[in-house]
Amino acid sequence: MDRGESVTRTRRPRVERGRSRNGCSTCISKKVKCDEARPHCRRCTRLSLTCEWPLPKSSLASRRRGLGPIKSRDPNWSPTSIMPNDGDDVLSHLSAMTSCMPLTVVDDLSLPQCHGLLSGGSNGNDYQTMDEVSLMLMLSDDISQGVFPTADSSTEKHVLSVAKTPDEEHLDSLLCANALELPGPLAIDNPLAVTDLSFVYAPGASLALGSDDKQAVLFHCKLFASLKSTRAWSCSAHTLFFKKAYDRAMALHFLLAVSHSELAIHYGQGPQPPKESQEHFHRGSQLFLQSRSAFASPDHINMMISFLYMYMFWMRRDHFDSNKLGDLSRAVLAYTRTYGVDTLCASDDILSFDNTFCGSVITVSEQVLLARIIAYLYDRDGFCCFFGCGGYFADYINSAPQKRQKFWLRSRTAFFLPWNDAGYIHGAESEVEDAATLDVYFELIVLHQEINSYSQATATRAITMGPRLQRWLEAIYREHTMLFHRVADQTYHAECTLMTFITATFFYAMQIYLYRARGSLFGGEPIPSGLQDALNSLVSAAYYATKAGSVQLLERFQWSLFIAWLETTDPVHQEWVENNISDPAIKKVLGHVQDIRNQPPAGITMKKIRSLVGEGFAAS
């Protein structure tokens, strides 16, 4: 080629790549990139645009006309007439979230079975966390709309099945085996016969959300479990509970009832449980009533997890139902005392434990898991006791401090057990990191229930309880001064976890609650200097906690904000606290208390708050 000859270069053809397929509608309409950050992407925030997100279609199974799988359809089958669906206007938003999940394509030979993922890895040393891929594989076949029907299906059909493919029949046989077990070695009188079971009846009919069970479980594991904990979803206790509830029909129905309900709340449909949630709650209640048989061998994990999910269901309604929560507390107490579940969890040698009294033989891993569940039940019941709803089970646990400390320490080992025993080892890291903080947090939960009892005790008994509780609170501050100092000094905030900020916020709220527990008015003046310091520290710690992580579903933090709102008279602080309270039941109490605070005298007592909750806010 001559030096003067021009060189012809072929220009690479331009390739138009798709932009932001899962982005917001605003960016997609402009054909620009979107970072897909919800609820407002950075581009819309920077340009002050309205960030709108497309509403995905509901699943094909909820939109098609036919009933059951097409391949197994009867020759004489004919489609039913098309009826308007009440939930057409509420589409399933979760499919947009699941479409963004990374999926791994595997062949049939490398695909593990569902129960293999739940029980363990390939060998004893292969401890792997339940990551997104394993969760998707676990749910891909078993939790589908063929296995768990939507709320539109008839309740007179099989408990957990509409379609009858071979795989589904196998899973149904596994799930329904727990509905009514064989008689145990000893028939024990029904522990729930003397209690009112108002808590097993779901509220009235409501509209359908349009979500299916697979979406509800994905929401529960990927989003709800992390929001209910200060840890990642993969090492959350709620994911551990899900693993055990997955093989138990009754607990799984209550879990799905909670998941559908929380999914509706998450997308702004209000605290009224949707039709899908009520359907699963009804079916779980049917299995619960069957398990009350005196000849049924007790499954303590199944029953106690079901109690926990019922607490989570009723605590998230638009108001605290004192009757239902009180009956639920009595039922948990009756079951625990009848079978000695608390004694079983606190026992150092379960092999020598009287299993005929317990009703069944349990392993060490099941003992640890039961201890963890009891700790959560104790926490929920003590929380409800503040509003005058229940507290019977929490008082029973507080009556035996040594036993309470034993099962608390045992519950801490749930994340240290191998995968193929009770859980997964991935959560042990967080458990060690927050070990000292968790001990303080649990001690504050115990003290909270003691203050609840002090607040509702007689005048004679309260005289001796008040000084003891004050000394207890001061001792906690002295023994853990470094924790509160790190929260107060911003130079240490990089070393603080979300649990540290939550614990400090809870402590300062306890100081205010102890002072106002009897006849003193919240927000009453003059405010003592010590109480004002506690209020300032409470608001400061709460602010740092909101910056450290998500706190919308943490009950004790929401309660601490409620205490701050009751006590503060600063309109700026009051507005900020009110905007950060997301619990629907607490917001309902807050609204009625606001009406009373506007009337002289400008304050309210704990007795008045409990009377408002007990009367269902009929009086103001």
CATH number, residue 38: 4.10.240.10
Co-location of 424 and 469 in the same domain? no
Co-location of 505 and 428 in the same domain? no
Can you give the pLDDT at residue 425? 46
Co-location of 269 and 400 in the same domain? yes
Co-location of 418 and 470 in the same domain? no
> Containing domain of residue 561, as a range?
462-614
List all residues 6 or more positions away from 14 whose beta carbon is below 8 Å from its beta carbon: none
Domain assignment present for 276? yes
Q: 550 near 588, Cβ under 8 Å?
A: no
Residue in 264, 242, 259 with CA at minimum distance from that of residue 251: 242
Specify the DSSP class assigned to residue 427.
Answer: G
Give the span between the Cα atoms of 513 and 451, in whole angstroms: 8
Can you give the pLDDT at residue 189? 53
Domain assignment present for 79? no
| pLDDT category of residue 412 using cuts at 50, 70 and 90 | confident
Give the mean model confidence (pLDDT) for residues 584-589.
Answer: 93
> Is the pTM of the predicted complex or chain greater than 0.95?
no
Grouping H, G, I as helix, E, B as strand and the rest as coil, residue 354 is coil
Co-location of 487 and 409 in the same domain? no
Co-location of 428 and 494 in the same domain? no
Give the mean model confidence (pLDDT) for residues 255-268.
Answer: 93
Q: Which of 30, 54, 78 is the last residue of a domain?
A: 54
Domain assignment present for 41? yes
List all residues 6 or more positions away from 399 whose beta carbon is below 8 Å from its beta carbon: none
Vertex 112 angle, CA 107 and 118, to 5°: 150
Domain assignment present for 566? yes
Structure tokens of 355?
A: 């299993």
Domain assignment present for 557? yes
| Highest-pLDDT range among 83-97, 503-517, 603-617 | 503-517
Tally the domains of the chain: 3
CB atoms within 10 A of CB 180: 13
The tens digit of pLDDT for each residue in 18-75 reads: 566 778 888 888 888 888 888 788 888 889 888 888 776 666 655 555 544 445 556 6
List all residues 6 or more positions away from 342 whose beta carbon is below 8 Å from its beta carbon: 336, 374, 396, 397, 400, 403, 407
Q: Which of 9, 35, 54 is the last residue of a domain?
A: 54
Grouping H, G, I as helix, E, B as strand and the rest as coil, residue 604 is strand
Co-location of 374 and 491 in the same domain? no
The single-letter code of the amino acid at 174 is L
Residue in 325, 326, 354 with CA at minimum distance from that of residue 339: 354
Using the structure block, give the residue that is written with the tokens 């602010």: 543
Can you give the pLDDT at residue 155? 35
Give the span between the Cα atoms of 524 and 229, in whole angstroms: 34
Residue in 15, 12, 40 with CA at minimum distance from that of residue 26: 40
Q: Tell me: cis bond preceding 75? Omega within 30 of 0 counts.
A: no
Domain assignment present for 12? no
Domain assignment present for 74? no
**Least confident span in 36-45, 254-263, 597-606:** 597-606
The tens digit of pLDDT for each residue in 470-496 reads: 999 999 999 999 999 999 999 999 999
Residues, the chain: 620
The answer, yes or no, to whether residue 340 has pLDDT greater than 80, is yes
- Cα torsion 17, 22, 24, 29 to 10°: value is 40
Co-location of 334 and 480 in the same domain? no
The number of C-alpha atoms within 13 Å of 246 and in the hemisphere containing its C-beta is 23
Co-location of 411 and 493 in the same domain? no
Specify the DSSP class assigned to residue 522.
Answer: B
The single-letter code of the amino acid at 396 is Y
Co-location of 408 and 524 in the same domain? no
The tens digit of pLDDT for each residue in 100-155 reads: 433 333 333 332 333 332 333 333 333 233 445 455 545 544 444 434 434 333 33
Domain assignment present for 469? yes
| pLDDT category of residue 430 using cuts at 50, 70 and 90 | low
Q: Which of 54, 71, 99 is the last residue of a domain?
A: 54
What percent of the chain stands above pLDDT 70? 68
Co-location of 519 and 388 in the same domain? no
Co-location of 236 and 385 in the same domain? yes
